[in-house]
A and B are shown apart, each in its own frame.
Chain A
Amino acid sequence: MNTTLGQFNPLAIFFFIVFITISLGITYWAARKTKSTAHFYAAGGNISGFQNGLALAGDYMSAASFLGIAGLVALNGFDGLIYSIGFLVGWPVVMFLIAEPLRNLGRYTFTDVVAYRLRQKPVRIASAIGTLAVVSFYLIAQMVGAGNLIRLLFGIDYNLAVIIVGGVMLAYVIFGGMIATTWVQIIKAVLLLGGTILLALMVLAQFGFNPLVLFQAAADKYGGAVLAPGKQVTDPLDAISLGLSLMLGTAGLPHILMRFYTVPNAKAARISVMYATLFIGFFYLLTFILGFGAMVLVGQDPISKIDKGGNMAAPMLAEVLGGNAFLGFIAAVSFATILAVVAGLTLSGAAALSHDLWVNVVRHGQTNETEEFRVARAATLLLGVLAIVLGIVFQGQNVAYMVGLAFAIAASANFPALLLSMLWRRFTTIGAVSSMVMGTISSLVLIYLSPTIQVTILHQASAPFPLKNPGLISIPLAFLVGIVVSLLTHEEAAMEKFSEVEHRIHTGEVM
């Protein structure tokens, strides 16, 4: 097929400018409402459950989901679906274990919950380190995706594309804070769901609106193997490790957890997870259609010729079915997706730096609103620049894989400490700190020792650690260290305060 990808595309640029203009208008409106840190971090707690559900879905359906999974399915068939399904199953866990207690106990960051009955300083330092590790890995994935996408869709330079994404994102977060970020997420979630539904319908129209005919066509063209697990899953332990990270990682992602402070109460938090699970699950079911649709209608060769990772499968499918205008629309939606996710990530990183480190550690909680606000904005600027630099340095990395690593770090560094602090009376400060530090360090070290870094990047003959994803080792290790260290230490104050924690977790009221 002939594609206009990689060339200057006026229609794509037009949709892109429309989106930017509208969302900057929202930022201007939000900026006038953002008067305090509560507005900056948590939109004043005024977002409804349904709105937050959409925003959560927007935060979660990143470029790695939309572009990456469609591409993985188009090139590998069934194997791509493993990611789709793994990304969803974390949501029930968030619902059952995390959402309501988090809303009831915290203020701005999930660290508020872990530190609630423990000693503030060490816990906040440890968790800020974990949060920043997760945010950096996730940011790299998004920025690299953004750079490649913009380069291919608009025909502009990679570095310039990364700088544009970083710049617009900074404007959203610095001026509009959580209110603007939330509304950008909501618009983007609606656009992305709408675009995906439209694209899926156009695919199904070619196959008599029967997905099975589509799957059969894929099997006829590329062999029955595309409908079964294949070469991507060679090591069983690797599949289990990835699965564990995807499932528990969602419950440790700082930018997702932060969203629970934008709603007024635990019930609204519950409702928002319900909607998020519904939207995200529906979206991932549609990726089955998009992926196989691109495989049959575009063909594997043209897709992998444009981009080895297959990331352009969905936009190419749009071009085949709806021409240049639809390509432009899907391109703008993809761009909005990346922009919104980067904004959410940066905001959660900034909250860790200003709220956790500056206010509670450096200033011992003794600071005024104006100062915290200034520090939060400075932290945002710092992270935005870091994101741009990382995006340029890590050009050419595999996007979906990087996100898998960010999930592994989140599941090891944040999730065990968060869960134990809410469930277990005997949990101590030293236990929490060692769990978070162990989770962060072990996952980072194992990633460094894995075949991807050692063999693919450093060109060694073999790797000391055989798995591509560290979750299978680092998550149980973080739990184990947290439990053993807590059992070896004793913290009277933390145990006494547990009843208060329990009371607040379940009722949301102060005892």
Chain B
Amino acid sequence: MNDRSRALTALANKRWQISLWLTAAMVVIYFGFILLIAYNKPLLGVLVVPGLSLGILLGALVIVAAWVLVYLYVRWANNYYDKKLSELREGDR
């Protein structure tokens, strides 16, 4: 195995690692919400302010969390992953 393919494998492992962590974060957030719906309905009915129940607030926050996680990944991939990858390609020539 030469240096380039070793560096590539390391980069690939890093990408999968980040992907799996972010996936895990989404799973935990979403299933936290689902488990509350399944096992603690009264809590979600509590009003935070008039008109806004905790359930609706958390539901909207799950959508916002999905946006944030996707944004984090795209930022990492655009700024770090693509750069490293093109560096590895440059080094080839």
Distance of A97 Cα from B19 Cα, bound (Å): 6
Which secondary structure dominates chain B's binding surface? helix
Q: Which residue of B lies closest to A91 (CB)?
A: B66
Structural contact, B45 and A225, CB atoms closer than 8 A: yes
Closest Cβ of chain A to B41, distance in Å, is: 4
Cα(A230)–Cα(B73), bound, Å: 35
Partner of A239, one of B5, B18, B38: B38
A255 close to B (CB within 8 Å): no
Is the CB–CB distance between B73 and A288 below 8 Å? no
Determine if A277 and B56 form an interchain contact, defined as CB atoms under 8 angstroms apart.
no
Which residues on B sit within 8 Å (CB–CB) of A214? 51
A216 CB–B CB distance under 8 Å: yes
Q: Is B16 an interface residue (CB 8 A)?
A: yes
C-alpha spacing A78/B67, complex, angstroms: 21
Q: Are B59 and A274 in contact (CB under 8 A)?
A: no
B73 vs chain A, min Cβ distance (A): 6
Whether A284 lies near B63 (C-beta < 8 A) is: yes
Q: Determine the chain B residues whose CB is within 8 A of the CB of A284 once the complex forms.
A: 63
* Choice from B34, B49, B77 contacting A243 with Cβ under 8 Å: B34
CA distance in complex: A237, B64 (Å): 26
Given contacts A97-B19, A216-B50, A229-B37, contact A281 B63 (CB under 8 A): yes
A507/B8 in contact, CB under 8 A: yes
Interface size on B, residues (CB 8 A): 51
Within 8 A of A (CB), among B3-18: 5, 8-9, 11-12, 15-16, 18
Q: Tell whether, in the assembled complex, residue A236 and residue B26 are in contact, meaning their CB atoms are under 8 Å apart.
A: no
- List A71-124 residues whose CB lies under 8 Å from chain B: 78, 81-82, 84-86, 88-89, 91-93, 95-97, 100
Would B23 and A97 count as touching, CB distance under 8 A? yes
Flag whether A224 is at the interface (Cβ < 8 A).
yes
**Are A228 and B41 in contact (CB-based, < 8 A)?**
yes
What residues of chain A lie closer than 8 Å to B60, measured between beta carbons?
285, 288
Interface flags, A213-232, vs B, CB<8A=1, else 0: 11110010000110111100
A212 sits at the interface (CB 8 A): yes
Contact of B8 among A224, A281, A506 (CB under 8 A): A506
Which residue of chain B has its CB nearest to the CB of A235? B38
Q: Which chain B residue lies CB-closest to A78?
A: B55
| A89-B26 contact in complex given A95-B70, A96-B19, A506-B12, C-beta closer than 8 Å | yes
Residues on A with beta carbons closer than 8 Å to the beta carbon of B26: 89, 92-93, 96, 247
Q: Quick check: A227 and B73 within 8 Å, CB to CB?
A: no
Bound complex: CA A228 to CA B69 (Å) = 26
Are B56 and A81 neighbours in the complex by a CB distance under 8 Å? yes
Q: How far is the CA of A288 from the CA of B12 in the complex (A)?
A: 40
> Inside 8 A of B15's CB, which chain A residues have their CB?
506
Residues from chain A with a CB closer than 8 A to the CB of B59 are: 78, 81-82, 84-85, 288
* Nearest CB of chain A from residue B26's CB, rounded to whole Å: 5
Q: Specify which chain A residues have a CB less than 8 angstroms from the CB of B39 in the assembled complex.
A: 236
B19 pairs with A281, CB closer than 8 A:
no
- Whose C-beta in chain B lies nearest to the C-beta of A292? B56
Interface flag for A503 (CB, 8 Å): yes
Partner of A93, one of B9, B23, B53: B23
CB-based nearest B residue for A247: B30
The docked-state distance in angstroms from the alpha carbon of A466 to that of B44 is: 26
Given A78-B53, A278-B67, verify A239-B37 contact (CB < 8 Å): yes
Whole-angstrom CA separation of A502 from B5 in the bound complex: 11
Give the docked Cα–Cα distance between A256 and B69 (Å): 20
For residue A273, CB closer than 8 A to chain B, the reply is: yes
A270 at the B interface (CB under 8 A): yes
Q: Is there contact, CB below 8 Å, between A88 and B69? A: no
CA distance A81 to B16 in the complex (A): 32
Q: Please judge, given known A-B contacts A274-B74, A505-B12, whether A227 and B66 are in contact too, CB under 8 Å.
A: no
Whether A229 contacts B45 by the Cβ 8 Å rule is: yes
Interface string of B26-37 (1 = CB under 8 A from A): 110011011101
Contacts known (A213-B51, A215-B52, A227-B55); A233 close to B63, Cβ less than 8 A: no
Distance of B7 from chain A, by nearest CB (Å): 11
Any B CB within 8 A of the CB of A364: no
Q: Which residues of B contact A278 (CB under 8 A)?
A: 67
B12 and A88 form a contact (CB under 8 A)? no
The minimal Cβ–Cβ distance linking B24 to chain A, given in whole angstroms, is: 10
Given contacts A89-B66, A92-B22, A229-B45, contact A270 B77 (CB under 8 A): yes
- A455, CB-defined interface residue at 8 Å: no
CB-based contact B47/A273 at 8 Å: no
Q: How far is the CB of B63 from chain A (nearest CB, A)?
A: 5
The interface of chain A, by Cβ under 8 A from chain B, is 78, 81-82, 84-86, 88-89, 91-93, 95-97, 100, 211-216, 219, 224-225, 227-230, 233, 236-237, 239-240, 243, 247, 267, 270-271, 273-274, 277-278, 281, 284-285, 288, 423, 502-503, 505-507
Known A96-B20, A96-B26; 5 more pairs at CB < 8 Å: A88-B63, A215-B52, A224-B45, A277-B66, A507-B89
- Mark B residues whose CB is within 8 Å of A: 5, 8-9, 11-12, 15-16, 18-20, 22-23, 26-27, 30-31, 33-35, 37-39, 41-42, 44-45, 47, 49-53, 55-56, 59-60, 62-64, 66-67, 69-71, 73-74, 77-78, 82, 85, 89
| Complex A-B: 18 CB contacts under 8 Å | A81-B56, A82-B59, A85-B62, A89-B26, A89-B66, A96-B23, A215-B52, A219-B51, A239-B37, A240-B35, A243-B34, A247-B27, A274-B70, A277-B67, A288-B59, A503-B5, A505-B12, A507-B85
